[in-house]
Amino acid sequence: MRTSGNKPLSGAFVAAFLVLGAGTAAQAADGTQAGSGGAEVILAAVGVTAGPALPADPGHGPLPRHEVALAVPEDLPSPGALPSYGPLGLLCAASLTAEPAPGATVDLTVQTPCLAGEPVTLRHGPLEATYLASSSGVVRARFPAFDPMAEFTAVLSDGQTLAAAAAVPGASGYERMVTMWPTGGSGLSVHAYEFGAGPGGAGHVWHGAPRQPAVAEAGRGGYLLELGTPGVSEGRMAEVYSFPAVGSRREGAVRLALSAEVTPETCGRPIEAVTLQIGDGLPGAPVAVSLPVPDCGTGQATDLVLKNLARDLRIGSTD
């Protein structure tokens, strides 16, 4: 190997060239010619200026040690108390809200994200009805308000009880007829015949023609609310007829009757129900009713009408 200035080439690059082929001449780095017979390796060295030397490794001593204290706030939940979420990603916390609505009614909303499809029983005083929560765990219902400060509860399938209240100043100005019965069977339907109306007439209020609470708020007549979800196991359904005894534009009597439908599911079995009337001068106490139903195939009427279980309403006009 050649050197430059009699000093070794520190960090030099050495390139090796292999010249192959017969009858071919190659020029060496020193100007001599290489013949064409066989192969010759020609080495060429290119000098490169050496960089500064790296400092010597100073070595490392042991790293310093520091004591670290871990502080955890006392109010942080333990791992077992972390919040849980429902199938839709909503927090599992359940809630009940109550908002005043027309005709001395209250709109109730239950949120139960982790109990979707489960039964929810809503209660207000002696009145109760059972609903089935939606696929997102929501129940919406409109209830009558019996008191100016109306209190409501919702009982969930896991035992939780939620509470809410709403101010309904006009609640005491209404007279009500309530009937409740177990779900899965036929109950007693309320029929109100206002001011001499006959069956099917304009003043006949029942579940086939229930009217809206706004009609009562305007003093033009009563309305009917149907409460509960049919078919809920061990639940309860209800119907409530309400009439504005204060603020009515008409005077006279409202005849009340209860009817029971005889079907293949109810024939031959007694119909169990609870009725009550709420209002000024009305009984107010629940009355248990057990109504015998004709056997199946007897050919008797498919509707039983009971006219002596409810007291008629006497309405005075304010016009």
What pLDDT sits at residue 18? 35
| Among the ranges given (55-59, 141-145, 213-217, 312-316), the one the predictor scored with the smallest mean pLDDT | 55-59
Cα(294)–Cα(48) distance, integer angstroms: 118
User: What is the structure's pLDDT at 74?
Assistant: 59
Instruction: Look at residue 154 in the predicted model and tell me its pLDDT.
Output: 98
Instruction: List, for residues 280-310, the tens digit of each pLDDT value.
Output: 767 678 888 888 887 777 655 567 777 666 6
- Among the ranges given (44-58, 216-230, 254-268), the one the predictor scored with the smallest mean pLDDT: 44-58
Q: Which of 6-15, 184-193, 295-304 has the lowest mean pLDDT?
A: 6-15
pLDDT band of residue 10 (cuts 50, 70, 90) is very low
Can you name the residues that pair with 179 across neighbouring β-strands?
239, 275
Percentage, residues of the chain above pLDDT 70 = 65
Q: Tell whether the model's pLDDT for residue 169 goes beyond 60.
A: yes
- How is the chain split into domains, by residue range? 13-46, 95-315
**Virtual torsion, Cα 206, 211, 217, 219, nearest 10 deg:** -70
Distance between CA 208 and CA 226 in Å, rounded?
Answer: 11
Q: What are phi and psi of 214, to 5 degrees?
A: -65, -25
Compute the distance between CA of residue 221 and CA of residue 153 in angstroms, rounded to an integer: 29
Helix (H) or strand (E) holding 124: strand 119-124
Structure token digits, residue 202 = 């304009």
